[in-house]
Amino acid sequence: MQNDDFKYVIQDTGNVYFGRELSYTEMMEREDVPFKFKAIINGQIAKDTDLNQTIFAHLLELDERSFTFRIFEQLKMTVRICYKANKGGLFGKGKEKWVHKSCPLGRFCAEYRAFVKTHEIILEDISISKLALMVMNI
């Protein structure tokens, strides 16, 4: 598995999705990252973090009292995770299955971030709302 597999930007009608291995520097170089988000990275996020860092690594150490955290909340950032869970089967046979879940950034930090650090949960990608990005003033 190469890190390039997790370096992507995908857009649909409502959101922009970022692969977990994209660094902020790589985002700044890509044409498919919205210009307004690049301006936010350059003007605000660059003050709090090293732009060579991946967004995944940044979320693992993000202080919930920081200005960057508030920016991400304003952008309605959602974190998509997956983990193995035991599902009760027929006749008491347990079966493991993968559970995929999306949650807002605040909930991710409060409930799941510690499990990502211990490798019990895998962070898949991060998304921001296009509408929230559109109405944000920079």
**Which CATH number belongs to the domain containing residue 46 in this structure?**
3.30.465.10
pLDDT tens digits, 48-76: 899 999 999 999 999 999 999 999 999 99
Is the Cα torsion angle 53, 68, 26, 3 positive or negative in sign? positive
Residues 6+ apart with CB under 8 A from 137: none
Which three-class secondary structure state does DSSP give residue 130? helix
Spatial distance between the Cα atoms of 62 and 4, rounded to a whole number of angstroms: 24
Give the pLDDT score at 88. Answer: 72
Could you tell me the pTM of the whole model? Answer: 0.87
Extract the residue ranges of the chain whose pLDDT is less than 50.
1
Q: What is the total count of domains within the chain?
A: 1
The residue count of the chain comes to 138
Q: Domain range holding 38?
A: 3-135
Q: What is the pLDDT of residue 1?
A: 46
Question: Dihedral (C-alpha) 25, 82, 112, 92: value to the nearest 10 degrees?
Answer: -170
